[in-house]
Structure 1
Amino acid sequence: MMKIAQTIRNIFANEDLNFLLTNRIPRHALTVFIGWFSKIESAWIRDLSIFIWRIFTDLDLSEAKKTQFKSLHDCFIRELKEGARPINDAESVLISPSDGIVGECGIIKNGQVFQAKGFPYQISDLLGSHIDPVSLEGGVYVTLRLTSAMYHRFHAPYSGVIDRVVYHSGDTWNVNPVALKRIENLFCKNERAAISMQIAAGRYKIYLVPVAAILVASIRLHGLDVTLNSHYRGSHHLKCALPCVKGEQLGWFEHGSTIILFAPSGFSLAPNIANGITIKMGTALFQLPPL
Protein backbone atom coordinates (compact mmCIF):
# COMPACT_ATOMS: atom_id res chain seq x y z
CA MET A 1 0.00 0.00 0.00
CA MET A 2 2.83 2.41 0.87
CA LYS A 3 4.50 1.70 -2.49
CA ILE A 4 1.25 2.56 -4.27
CA ALA A 5 0.96 5.76 -2.26
CA GLN A 6 4.54 6.73 -3.11
CA THR A 7 3.91 6.02 -6.80
CA ILE A 8 0.87 8.32 -6.78
CA ARG A 9 2.84 11.02 -4.95
CA ASN A 10 5.56 10.77 -7.61
CA ILE A 11 2.94 11.19 -10.34
CA PHE A 12 1.58 14.30 -8.66
CA ALA A 13 5.12 15.66 -8.34
CA ASN A 14 5.17 16.02 -12.14
CA GLU A 15 3.65 19.48 -12.69
CA ASP A 16 2.07 18.69 -16.08
CA LEU A 17 0.38 15.54 -14.79
CA ASN A 18 -0.58 17.24 -11.53
CA PHE A 19 -2.32 20.04 -13.41
CA LEU A 20 -4.02 17.64 -15.81
CA LEU A 21 -5.29 15.26 -13.10
CA THR A 22 -6.51 17.96 -10.71
CA ASN A 23 -8.02 20.45 -13.15
CA ARG A 24 -8.93 18.90 -16.53
CA ILE A 25 -11.77 16.92 -14.98
CA PRO A 26 -15.44 17.73 -14.20
CA ARG A 27 -14.46 19.96 -11.26
CA HIS A 28 -17.91 21.05 -10.13
CA ALA A 29 -19.50 17.60 -10.41
CA LEU A 30 -16.64 15.96 -8.53
CA THR A 31 -16.77 18.62 -5.83
CA VAL A 32 -20.52 18.12 -5.33
CA PHE A 33 -20.03 14.34 -5.19
CA ILE A 34 -17.25 14.56 -2.58
CA GLY A 35 -19.38 16.96 -0.54
CA TRP A 36 -22.17 14.36 -0.49
CA PHE A 37 -19.90 11.34 0.00
CA SER A 38 -17.95 12.87 2.89
CA LYS A 39 -21.13 13.35 4.93
CA ILE A 40 -22.25 9.70 4.76
CA GLU A 41 -22.48 8.48 8.35
CA SER A 42 -21.27 4.92 7.87
CA ALA A 43 -18.56 3.47 10.08
CA TRP A 44 -16.83 1.47 7.33
CA ILE A 45 -16.94 4.34 4.79
CA ARG A 46 -15.62 6.75 7.43
CA ASP A 47 -12.83 4.42 8.56
CA LEU A 48 -11.75 3.47 5.02
CA SER A 49 -11.77 7.11 3.90
CA ILE A 50 -9.67 8.27 6.86
CA PHE A 51 -7.31 5.29 6.37
CA ILE A 52 -6.71 6.25 2.73
CA TRP A 53 -6.42 9.91 3.69
CA ARG A 54 -3.67 9.04 6.20
CA ILE A 55 -1.71 7.11 3.55
CA PHE A 56 -1.46 10.02 1.14
CA THR A 57 -1.13 12.93 3.60
CA ASP A 58 0.45 13.80 6.94
CA LEU A 59 -2.92 13.71 8.72
CA ASP A 60 -2.43 14.14 12.49
CA LEU A 61 -5.49 13.73 14.69
CA SER A 62 -3.63 13.87 18.01
CA GLU A 63 -4.77 17.47 18.56
CA ALA A 64 -8.43 16.75 17.77
CA LYS A 65 -10.97 17.50 20.49
CA LYS A 66 -12.70 14.16 19.95
CA THR A 67 -11.41 10.79 18.81
CA GLN A 68 -14.57 9.41 17.20
CA PHE A 69 -16.10 11.01 14.10
CA LYS A 70 -19.50 10.49 12.51
CA SER A 71 -18.17 10.84 8.96
CA LEU A 72 -15.21 11.94 6.86
CA HIS A 73 -16.71 15.44 6.85
CA ASP A 74 -16.94 15.44 10.64
CA CYS A 75 -13.23 14.60 10.78
CA PHE A 76 -12.36 17.25 8.21
CA ILE A 77 -13.99 20.10 10.16
CA ARG A 78 -12.74 18.78 13.51
CA GLU A 79 -12.24 21.08 16.46
CA LEU A 80 -8.99 21.04 18.41
CA LYS A 81 -8.30 20.45 22.08
CA GLU A 82 -8.44 23.48 24.34
CA GLY A 83 -5.10 25.27 24.22
CA ALA A 84 -3.84 23.52 21.08
CA ARG A 85 -3.48 26.90 19.36
CA PRO A 86 -2.21 29.59 21.78
CA ILE A 87 -3.42 33.07 20.82
CA ASN A 88 -1.01 36.00 20.67
CA ASP A 89 -3.12 38.49 22.63
CA ALA A 90 -0.86 41.55 22.15
CA GLU A 91 -2.97 44.53 21.01
CA SER A 92 -0.30 45.41 18.44
CA VAL A 93 -0.63 42.04 16.68
CA LEU A 94 -3.17 40.71 14.18
CA ILE A 95 -3.02 36.92 14.24
CA SER A 96 -3.23 34.26 11.58
CA PRO A 97 -6.89 33.16 11.27
CA SER A 98 -5.92 29.60 10.35
CA ASP A 99 -3.17 27.09 9.97
CA GLY A 100 -1.56 27.38 6.57
CA ILE A 101 1.44 27.74 4.28
CA VAL A 102 2.28 31.31 3.31
CA GLY A 103 1.94 31.53 -0.47
CA GLU A 104 2.44 35.16 -1.42
CA CYS A 105 2.70 38.19 0.85
CA GLY A 106 3.76 41.81 0.61
CA ILE A 107 2.61 45.34 -0.12
CA ILE A 108 -0.54 46.25 -2.06
CA LYS A 109 0.53 48.46 -4.99
CA ASN A 110 -1.74 50.02 -7.62
CA GLY A 111 -4.62 47.93 -6.30
CA GLN A 112 -2.70 44.81 -7.22
CA VAL A 113 -1.26 41.75 -5.43
CA PHE A 114 0.16 38.40 -6.56
CA GLN A 115 -1.20 34.86 -6.54
CA ALA A 116 2.24 33.57 -7.68
CA LYS A 117 5.42 35.10 -9.06
CA GLY A 118 4.57 36.88 -12.31
CA PHE A 119 0.82 36.38 -11.84
CA PRO A 120 -0.76 39.55 -10.42
CA TYR A 121 -4.46 40.23 -9.96
CA GLN A 122 -6.57 43.24 -9.00
CA ILE A 123 -8.01 43.14 -5.49
CA SER A 124 -11.21 44.72 -6.79
CA ASP A 125 -11.72 41.62 -8.97
CA LEU A 126 -11.41 39.43 -5.88
CA LEU A 127 -13.35 41.47 -3.33
CA GLY A 128 -16.05 42.95 -5.57
CA SER A 129 -17.05 46.34 -6.94
CA HIS A 130 -18.42 47.59 -3.59
CA ILE A 131 -14.85 47.75 -2.23
CA ASP A 132 -12.76 50.84 -3.01
CA PRO A 133 -9.23 49.48 -3.68
CA VAL A 134 -7.78 52.89 -2.80
CA SER A 135 -8.67 52.17 0.84
CA LEU A 136 -6.11 49.35 0.82
CA GLU A 137 -3.38 51.04 -1.20
CA GLY A 138 0.00 50.70 0.51
CA GLY A 139 -1.39 48.08 2.87
CA VAL A 140 -0.32 44.46 3.24
CA TYR A 141 -1.66 41.07 2.25
CA VAL A 142 -0.96 37.40 2.95
CA THR A 143 -2.20 34.28 1.17
CA LEU A 144 -2.50 31.18 3.38
CA ARG A 145 -2.88 27.79 1.68
CA LEU A 146 -4.45 25.00 3.73
CA THR A 147 -3.46 21.46 2.79
CA SER A 148 -6.07 18.72 3.12
CA ALA A 149 -4.57 17.35 6.34
CA MET A 150 -4.55 20.70 8.17
CA TYR A 151 -7.00 22.04 10.74
CA HIS A 152 -9.74 23.69 8.65
CA ARG A 153 -11.55 26.04 10.98
CA PHE A 154 -10.77 29.74 10.74
CA HIS A 155 -10.83 32.31 13.52
CA ALA A 156 -11.06 36.06 14.08
CA PRO A 157 -7.65 37.64 13.41
CA TYR A 158 -8.51 40.52 15.76
CA SER A 159 -11.38 41.65 17.96
CA GLY A 160 -13.99 43.68 16.12
CA VAL A 161 -17.24 43.50 14.16
CA ILE A 162 -18.00 41.71 10.91
CA ASP A 163 -20.14 44.22 9.03
CA ARG A 164 -20.55 42.56 5.64
CA VAL A 165 -20.10 39.21 3.92
CA VAL A 166 -20.19 39.02 0.14
CA TYR A 167 -20.32 35.53 -1.34
CA HIS A 168 -19.12 35.20 -4.96
CA SER A 169 -20.09 32.01 -6.77
CA GLY A 170 -17.48 30.68 -9.13
CA ASP A 171 -15.34 27.81 -10.34
CA THR A 172 -13.44 25.24 -8.30
CA TRP A 173 -9.96 25.26 -9.83
CA ASN A 174 -7.28 23.60 -7.73
CA VAL A 175 -5.38 26.29 -5.79
CA ASN A 176 -2.09 24.43 -5.40
CA PRO A 177 1.16 26.13 -6.57
CA VAL A 178 1.07 24.28 -9.91
CA ALA A 179 -2.31 25.78 -10.85
CA LEU A 180 -1.47 29.23 -9.46
CA LYS A 181 1.45 29.44 -11.90
CA ARG A 182 -0.77 28.58 -14.87
CA ILE A 183 -4.24 30.08 -14.40
CA GLU A 184 -4.42 33.87 -14.39
CA ASN A 185 -6.75 35.48 -11.83
CA LEU A 186 -7.45 32.06 -10.35
CA PHE A 187 -8.60 33.31 -6.95
CA CYS A 188 -10.92 35.78 -8.70
CA LYS A 189 -12.50 32.95 -10.69
CA ASN A 190 -13.12 30.57 -7.81
CA GLU A 191 -15.95 30.45 -5.29
CA ARG A 192 -15.13 32.76 -2.35
CA ALA A 193 -16.51 34.92 0.45
CA ALA A 194 -15.22 38.44 1.17
CA ILE A 195 -15.60 39.09 4.91
CA SER A 196 -15.34 42.74 5.93
CA MET A 197 -14.28 43.45 9.53
CA GLN A 198 -14.00 46.66 11.50
CA ILE A 199 -11.30 46.29 14.15
CA ALA A 200 -9.59 48.34 16.90
CA ALA A 201 -12.79 50.19 17.88
CA GLY A 202 -13.58 50.88 14.21
CA ARG A 203 -10.25 52.56 13.38
CA TYR A 204 -9.35 50.05 10.66
CA LYS A 205 -11.13 47.84 8.16
CA ILE A 206 -9.61 44.53 7.11
CA TYR A 207 -10.78 41.83 4.74
CA LEU A 208 -10.65 38.07 5.17
CA VAL A 209 -11.31 36.06 2.00
CA PRO A 210 -11.81 32.27 2.19
CA VAL A 211 -11.41 30.84 -1.34
CA ALA A 212 -12.82 27.44 -2.30
CA ALA A 213 -11.26 24.91 -4.70
CA ILE A 214 -11.82 21.51 -6.27
CA LEU A 215 -13.29 19.09 -3.69
CA VAL A 216 -13.32 22.14 -1.43
CA ALA A 217 -16.52 24.08 -1.80
CA SER A 218 -18.98 25.55 0.71
CA ILE A 219 -18.10 27.91 3.52
CA ARG A 220 -19.89 27.99 6.87
CA LEU A 221 -19.86 31.07 9.08
CA HIS A 222 -20.96 31.18 12.71
CA GLY A 223 -23.60 33.83 13.32
CA LEU A 224 -25.07 33.45 9.83
CA ASP A 225 -27.63 30.67 9.47
CA VAL A 226 -26.56 29.85 5.94
CA THR A 227 -23.96 27.70 4.19
CA LEU A 228 -22.39 29.64 1.33
CA ASN A 229 -22.07 27.47 -1.74
CA SER A 230 -22.82 27.17 -5.46
CA HIS A 231 -26.59 27.28 -4.87
CA TYR A 232 -26.09 31.06 -4.89
CA ARG A 233 -25.33 32.62 -8.26
CA GLY A 234 -23.39 35.82 -8.82
CA SER A 235 -22.73 37.94 -5.74
CA HIS A 236 -24.76 37.43 -2.57
CA HIS A 237 -24.51 40.34 -0.10
CA LEU A 238 -25.14 39.74 3.59
CA LYS A 239 -25.11 42.85 5.75
CA CYS A 240 -24.55 42.05 9.38
CA ALA A 241 -23.14 43.26 12.69
CA LEU A 242 -21.44 40.25 14.23
CA PRO A 243 -19.07 41.02 17.12
CA CYS A 244 -16.06 38.74 17.46
CA VAL A 245 -13.08 38.36 19.77
CA LYS A 246 -9.53 37.67 18.61
CA GLY A 247 -9.10 33.90 18.25
CA GLU A 248 -12.83 33.17 18.29
CA GLN A 249 -14.03 30.65 15.72
CA LEU A 250 -15.61 32.34 12.70
CA GLY A 251 -16.43 29.22 10.72
CA TRP A 252 -14.94 26.54 8.52
CA PHE A 253 -14.50 25.32 5.00
CA GLU A 254 -16.71 22.36 4.24
CA HIS A 255 -13.59 20.92 2.59
CA GLY A 256 -10.76 23.50 3.11
CA SER A 257 -8.62 25.63 0.72
CA THR A 258 -7.09 29.13 0.92
CA ILE A 259 -7.52 32.29 2.99
CA ILE A 260 -6.30 35.73 1.91
CA LEU A 261 -6.02 38.68 4.32
CA PHE A 262 -5.84 42.36 3.41
CA ALA A 263 -5.07 45.25 5.77
CA PRO A 264 -4.77 48.99 5.01
CA SER A 265 -1.73 51.25 4.93
CA GLY A 266 0.15 51.42 8.23
CA PHE A 267 -0.01 47.69 8.86
CA SER A 268 3.13 45.62 8.29
CA LEU A 269 4.01 41.94 8.07
CA ALA A 270 5.10 40.31 11.32
CA PRO A 271 8.89 39.69 11.34
CA ASN A 272 8.61 35.92 10.79
CA ILE A 273 6.23 36.01 7.81
CA ALA A 274 7.75 34.98 4.47
CA ASN A 275 6.80 32.93 1.43
CA GLY A 276 6.82 29.19 2.02
CA ILE A 277 6.71 29.08 5.81
CA THR A 278 4.07 27.06 7.65
CA ILE A 279 2.25 28.86 10.46
CA LYS A 280 -0.52 28.02 12.87
CA MET A 281 -3.65 29.84 13.86
CA GLY A 282 -3.02 32.33 16.66
CA THR A 283 0.52 33.31 15.70
CA ALA A 284 1.45 36.89 14.71
CA LEU A 285 0.67 37.72 11.07
CA PHE A 286 0.48 41.54 10.85
CA GLN A 287 1.66 44.38 13.07
CA LEU A 288 -0.90 47.14 13.61
CA PRO A 289 0.10 50.77 12.97
CA PRO A 290 1.79 52.35 16.00
CA LEU A 291 -0.54 54.52 18.07
Structure 2
Amino acid sequence: MKKKIYQSFVELSGNRFNSYLLKAFTKSKMSKLLNKSFVKVYNIDEAEMEKTLDEYESLQELFIRNLKSEARLIDQDPNSIISPVDGILADVGEINDNCTFHVKNQDYSLIEMLGNEKRAEKYKNGTYIILYLSPSHYHRIHTPVSGTVVGKWALGNKSYPVNEMGLKLGKRPLSKNFRFITEVRLRNTKHYALVKVGAMNVNSIHPTFTGNEVQKGEEMGYFSFGSTVVLLFENNAIALGDYIETPMDVKVGMKIGSF
Protein backbone atom coordinates (compact mmCIF):
# COMPACT_ATOMS: atom_id res chain seq x y z
CA MET A 1 0.00 0.00 0.00
CA LYS A 2 2.78 2.44 0.93
CA LYS A 3 4.52 1.83 -2.37
CA LYS A 4 1.35 2.64 -4.31
CA ILE A 5 0.96 5.88 -2.37
CA TYR A 6 4.54 6.92 -3.08
CA GLN A 7 4.19 6.06 -6.75
CA SER A 8 1.26 8.44 -6.93
CA PHE A 9 3.50 11.11 -5.39
CA VAL A 10 6.35 10.82 -7.84
CA GLU A 11 5.02 9.23 -11.02
CA LEU A 12 1.35 9.64 -11.70
CA SER A 13 -0.81 12.72 -12.00
CA GLY A 14 -3.97 13.25 -13.97
CA ASN A 15 -3.98 17.01 -14.37
CA ARG A 16 -1.84 20.12 -14.02
CA PHE A 17 -3.55 21.37 -10.85
CA ASN A 18 -2.93 18.09 -9.01
CA SER A 19 0.68 18.15 -10.18
CA TYR A 20 1.27 21.59 -8.70
CA LEU A 21 -0.30 20.52 -5.41
CA LEU A 22 1.94 17.46 -5.39
CA LYS A 23 5.01 19.55 -6.16
CA ALA A 24 4.17 21.99 -3.36
CA PHE A 25 3.73 19.19 -0.83
CA THR A 26 6.95 17.35 -1.69
CA LYS A 27 8.90 20.61 -1.28
CA SER A 28 7.29 21.38 2.09
CA LYS A 29 8.90 20.65 5.45
CA MET A 30 5.86 18.53 6.30
CA SER A 31 6.91 15.99 3.67
CA LYS A 32 10.11 15.32 5.62
CA LEU A 33 8.00 13.02 7.80
CA LEU A 34 7.84 10.62 4.84
CA ASN A 35 11.59 10.46 4.18
CA LYS A 36 12.38 7.52 6.44
CA SER A 37 9.56 5.32 5.10
CA PHE A 38 10.34 6.40 1.51
CA VAL A 39 13.91 5.13 1.92
CA LYS A 40 12.62 1.88 3.42
CA VAL A 41 9.92 1.26 0.79
CA TYR A 42 12.32 1.82 -2.12
CA ASN A 43 15.35 0.18 -0.46
CA ILE A 44 17.53 3.25 -1.02
CA ASP A 45 21.15 2.87 0.09
CA GLU A 46 21.73 5.54 2.73
CA ALA A 47 25.49 4.86 2.67
CA GLU A 48 25.68 6.38 -0.83
CA MET A 49 23.94 9.63 0.12
CA GLU A 50 25.97 12.83 0.29
CA LYS A 51 24.17 13.76 3.53
CA THR A 52 22.56 11.82 6.36
CA LEU A 53 18.85 11.12 6.05
CA ASP A 54 17.98 13.61 8.82
CA GLU A 55 19.65 16.44 6.89
CA TYR A 56 17.13 16.30 4.02
CA GLU A 57 14.44 18.84 4.90
CA SER A 58 11.78 17.58 2.47
CA LEU A 59 10.90 14.61 0.30
CA GLN A 60 11.98 16.68 -2.69
CA GLU A 61 15.45 17.26 -1.25
CA LEU A 62 15.81 13.54 -0.70
CA PHE A 63 14.57 12.74 -4.18
CA ILE A 64 17.12 14.99 -5.94
CA ARG A 65 19.95 13.99 -3.59
CA ASN A 66 23.58 14.02 -4.62
CA LEU A 67 25.75 11.00 -3.92
CA LYS A 68 29.16 10.77 -2.33
CA SER A 69 31.91 11.32 -4.89
CA GLU A 70 33.12 7.71 -4.64
CA ALA A 71 29.62 6.18 -4.96
CA ARG A 72 29.77 5.98 -8.77
CA LEU A 73 32.90 5.04 -10.72
CA ILE A 74 33.15 6.42 -14.25
CA ASP A 75 34.59 3.93 -16.75
CA GLN A 76 37.99 5.32 -17.78
CA ASP A 77 38.32 3.68 -21.19
CA PRO A 78 38.68 6.71 -23.55
CA ASN A 79 36.53 4.91 -26.12
CA SER A 80 33.72 3.97 -23.75
CA ILE A 81 30.17 5.29 -23.59
CA ILE A 82 28.63 5.14 -20.13
CA SER A 83 25.14 5.09 -18.71
CA PRO A 84 24.15 8.70 -17.97
CA VAL A 85 21.76 7.68 -15.17
CA ASP A 86 20.93 5.10 -12.56
CA GLY A 87 17.92 3.29 -13.94
CA ILE A 88 16.64 0.51 -16.13
CA LEU A 89 17.93 0.19 -19.67
CA ALA A 90 14.45 -0.52 -20.98
CA ASP A 91 14.93 -0.67 -24.74
CA VAL A 92 17.56 -0.31 -27.42
CA GLY A 93 17.43 -0.61 -31.18
CA GLU A 94 17.95 0.86 -34.62
CA ILE A 95 16.32 4.01 -35.93
CA ASN A 96 14.88 3.23 -39.36
CA ASP A 97 15.02 5.00 -42.73
CA ASN A 98 11.95 7.03 -41.84
CA CYS A 99 13.59 8.35 -38.67
CA THR A 100 11.24 6.37 -36.44
CA PHE A 101 11.59 3.58 -33.89
CA HIS A 102 9.11 1.25 -32.20
CA VAL A 103 8.63 0.97 -28.42
CA LYS A 104 5.81 -0.74 -26.49
CA ASN A 105 3.59 -1.09 -29.57
CA GLN A 106 3.99 2.57 -30.50
CA ASP A 107 5.94 4.22 -33.31
CA TYR A 108 8.02 7.26 -32.35
CA SER A 109 8.96 9.88 -34.90
CA LEU A 110 12.25 11.71 -34.40
CA ILE A 111 10.79 14.67 -36.27
CA GLU A 112 8.18 14.93 -33.53
CA MET A 113 10.65 14.15 -30.74
CA LEU A 114 13.37 16.59 -31.85
CA GLY A 115 11.19 19.27 -33.36
CA ASN A 116 12.06 19.34 -37.06
CA GLU A 117 13.13 17.21 -40.00
CA LYS A 118 16.68 18.53 -40.24
CA ARG A 119 17.49 17.51 -36.67
CA ALA A 120 15.85 14.11 -37.11
CA GLU A 121 17.54 13.26 -40.43
CA LYS A 122 20.92 13.26 -38.72
CA TYR A 123 19.97 10.15 -36.72
CA LYS A 124 18.51 8.06 -39.54
CA ASN A 125 19.73 4.44 -39.24
CA GLY A 126 21.35 5.33 -35.95
CA THR A 127 20.83 3.86 -32.48
CA TYR A 128 18.33 4.71 -29.74
CA ILE A 129 18.64 3.78 -26.07
CA ILE A 130 15.83 4.28 -23.55
CA LEU A 131 16.58 4.49 -19.82
CA TYR A 132 13.78 4.63 -17.26
CA LEU A 133 14.21 6.07 -13.77
CA SER A 134 11.91 4.81 -11.03
CA PRO A 135 11.35 6.59 -7.68
CA SER A 136 14.05 4.42 -6.11
CA HIS A 137 16.80 5.72 -8.39
CA TYR A 138 19.32 8.52 -8.04
CA HIS A 139 17.88 11.27 -10.24
CA ARG A 140 20.92 13.22 -11.42
CA ILE A 141 21.71 13.03 -15.16
CA HIS A 142 25.31 12.79 -16.42
CA THR A 143 26.87 12.88 -19.86
CA PRO A 144 27.56 9.48 -21.45
CA VAL A 145 30.58 10.62 -23.50
CA SER A 146 32.80 13.70 -23.82
CA GLY A 147 32.17 16.22 -26.57
CA THR A 148 31.12 19.74 -27.57
CA VAL A 149 27.60 20.96 -26.89
CA VAL A 150 26.19 22.25 -30.19
CA GLY A 151 22.55 22.75 -29.26
CA LYS A 152 20.01 22.93 -26.44
CA TRP A 153 16.26 23.27 -26.80
CA ALA A 154 12.98 22.46 -25.06
CA LEU A 155 9.76 21.13 -26.58
CA GLY A 156 6.30 20.23 -25.30
CA ASN A 157 4.28 21.89 -22.56
CA LYS A 158 2.88 19.10 -20.39
CA SER A 159 3.81 15.58 -19.37
CA TYR A 160 2.21 12.26 -18.59
CA PRO A 161 3.63 9.08 -17.01
CA VAL A 162 6.56 7.40 -18.75
CA ASN A 163 6.56 4.23 -16.65
CA GLU A 164 5.71 0.82 -18.12
CA MET A 165 1.97 1.52 -18.20
CA GLY A 166 2.44 5.05 -19.52
CA LEU A 167 4.57 3.83 -22.43
CA LYS A 168 1.99 1.21 -23.34
CA LEU A 169 -1.18 3.26 -22.97
CA GLY A 170 -0.07 6.88 -23.29
CA LYS A 171 -0.10 8.90 -26.49
CA ARG A 172 3.57 8.71 -27.47
CA PRO A 173 4.85 10.28 -24.23
CA LEU A 174 8.52 10.09 -25.27
CA SER A 175 7.89 12.50 -28.16
CA LYS A 176 4.98 14.55 -26.79
CA ASN A 177 5.89 15.14 -23.13
CA PHE A 178 7.84 18.21 -22.10
CA ARG A 179 11.45 17.43 -22.92
CA PHE A 180 14.81 19.17 -22.80
CA ILE A 181 17.29 18.12 -25.46
CA THR A 182 21.06 18.55 -25.48
CA GLU A 183 22.96 17.75 -28.67
CA VAL A 184 26.68 17.00 -28.48
CA ARG A 185 29.31 16.61 -31.21
CA LEU A 186 31.65 13.70 -30.56
CA ARG A 187 35.36 13.65 -31.30
CA ASN A 188 34.68 11.60 -34.46
CA THR A 189 32.49 14.53 -35.66
CA LYS A 190 29.29 12.50 -35.27
CA HIS A 191 26.56 13.58 -32.86
CA TYR A 192 24.37 12.27 -30.11
CA ALA A 193 21.24 13.75 -28.54
CA LEU A 194 20.43 13.44 -24.84
CA VAL A 195 16.64 13.72 -24.62
CA LYS A 196 15.42 14.28 -21.07
CA VAL A 197 11.69 13.49 -20.91
CA GLY A 198 9.46 14.99 -18.20
CA ALA A 199 7.04 12.72 -16.37
CA MET A 200 4.65 15.12 -14.70
CA ASN A 201 2.38 18.00 -15.71
CA VAL A 202 4.92 20.33 -14.11
CA ASN A 203 8.42 20.90 -15.49
CA SER A 204 10.45 18.22 -13.70
CA ILE A 205 13.67 18.74 -15.71
CA HIS A 206 16.35 21.02 -14.30
CA PRO A 207 19.50 21.57 -16.44
CA THR A 208 22.65 22.33 -14.43
CA PHE A 209 25.41 22.29 -17.08
CA THR A 210 26.15 25.67 -18.67
CA GLY A 211 29.43 25.20 -20.57
CA ASN A 212 30.31 24.09 -24.10
CA GLU A 213 32.85 21.32 -23.55
CA VAL A 214 31.38 18.46 -21.54
CA GLN A 215 33.40 15.61 -20.04
CA LYS A 216 32.18 12.03 -19.70
CA GLY A 217 30.44 11.59 -16.36
CA GLU A 218 29.87 15.31 -15.80
CA GLU A 219 26.45 16.27 -14.41
CA MET A 220 24.01 17.71 -16.95
CA GLY A 221 20.93 18.19 -14.79
CA TYR A 222 18.39 16.38 -12.66
CA PHE A 223 14.77 15.23 -12.58
CA SER A 224 12.62 16.41 -9.70
CA PHE A 225 10.17 13.57 -10.39
CA GLY A 226 10.60 10.12 -11.97
CA SER A 227 11.30 10.20 -15.68
CA THR A 228 13.09 8.83 -18.74
CA VAL A 229 16.19 9.56 -20.81
CA VAL A 230 16.41 8.77 -24.52
CA LEU A 231 19.87 8.65 -26.13
CA LEU A 232 20.09 9.02 -29.91
CA PHE A 233 23.34 8.29 -31.78
CA GLU A 234 24.14 8.77 -35.45
CA ASN A 235 24.62 5.78 -37.74
CA ASN A 236 27.96 3.99 -37.07
CA ALA A 237 28.78 6.34 -34.21
CA ILE A 238 28.85 3.64 -31.51
CA ALA A 239 28.83 -0.09 -30.88
CA LEU A 240 26.86 -1.42 -27.93
CA GLY A 241 28.45 -3.97 -25.61
CA ASP A 242 27.53 -7.57 -26.40
CA TYR A 243 26.46 -7.96 -22.76
CA ILE A 244 23.64 -5.41 -23.16
CA GLU A 245 20.17 -6.86 -22.83
CA THR A 246 16.76 -5.40 -22.04
CA PRO A 247 15.62 -4.77 -19.48
CA MET A 248 18.73 -4.46 -17.33
CA ASP A 249 19.74 -2.35 -14.35
CA VAL A 250 22.43 0.24 -14.98
CA LYS A 251 24.22 2.87 -12.91
CA VAL A 252 25.99 6.10 -13.78
CA GLY A 253 29.48 5.36 -15.09
CA MET A 254 28.79 1.80 -16.23
CA LYS A 255 30.10 1.09 -19.73
CA ILE A 256 27.24 0.40 -22.16
CA GLY A 257 29.09 0.80 -25.47
CA SER A 258 32.10 2.24 -27.25
CA PHE A 259 33.15 4.22 -30.32
Whether the TM-score (by the shorter chain) exceeds 0.5 is: yes
| Higher Rg of the two aligned structures | 1
Gaps of 5+ in 1: 13-17, 225-240
Gaps of 5+ in 2: none
Matches within 5 A, 1:22-61: 22=12, 25-26=14-15, 28-40=16-28, 42=29, 45-54=30-39, 56-61=41-46
Percent identity between the aligned chains? 26
User: CA contact under 8 A between 2:25 and 2:31: conserved in structure 1?
Assistant: no
Equivalent residue in structure 2 for 1:189, among 176, 194, 211: 176
Counterpart for residue 234 of structure 2: 264
* CA deviation after TM superposition for structure 1 residue 71, in Å: 2.0
* CA deviation after TM superposition for structure 1 residue 256, in Å: 3.2
Residue 112 (str. 1) matches residue 82 (str. 2): no
Matches within 5 A, 1:1-291: 4-5=1-2, 8=4, 22=12, 25-26=14-15, 28-40=16-28, 42=29, 45-54=30-39, 56-67=41-52, 68-110=55-97, 111-116=99-104, 118-129=105-116, 131-200=118-187, 203-214=189-200, 217-224=203-210, 242-266=212-236, 267-288=238-259
Runs of 4+ aligned residues of structure 1 deviating over 4 Å after TM superposition are none
CA distance in 2, matches of 1:53, 1:215: 22
Q: What's the CA shift string for 1:208-266, capped at 9, x where partnerless?
A: 01101137733221244xxxxxxxxxxxxxxxx62111111111112231000011111
Q: How many residues align structurally?
A: 252
User: CA contact under 8 A between 2:85 and 2:142: conserved in structure 1?
Assistant: yes
> What RMSD in Å do the two structures reach over aligned CA positions?
2.3
CA distance in 2, matches of 1:147, 1:253: 11
Tell me the amino acid that sits aligned with residue 246 of structure 1: K
User: CA contact under 8 A between 1:35 and 1:215: conserved in structure 2?
Assistant: no
- TM-score if structure 2 supplies the norm length? 0.88
* CA deviation after TM superposition for structure 1 residue 130, in Å: 6.1
User: CA contact under 8 A between 2:20 and 2:202: conserved in structure 1?
Assistant: no
CA distance in 1, matches of 2:227, 2:130: 11
Going from structure 1 to structure 2, the CA distance change for 1:131 and 1:79 (only over 3 Å counts) comes to: farther
Going from structure 1 to structure 2, the CA distance change for 1:176 and 1:284 (only over 3 Å counts) comes to: same
* CA deviation after TM superposition for structure 1 residue 278, in Å: 0.7
- TM-score if structure 1 supplies the norm length? 0.79
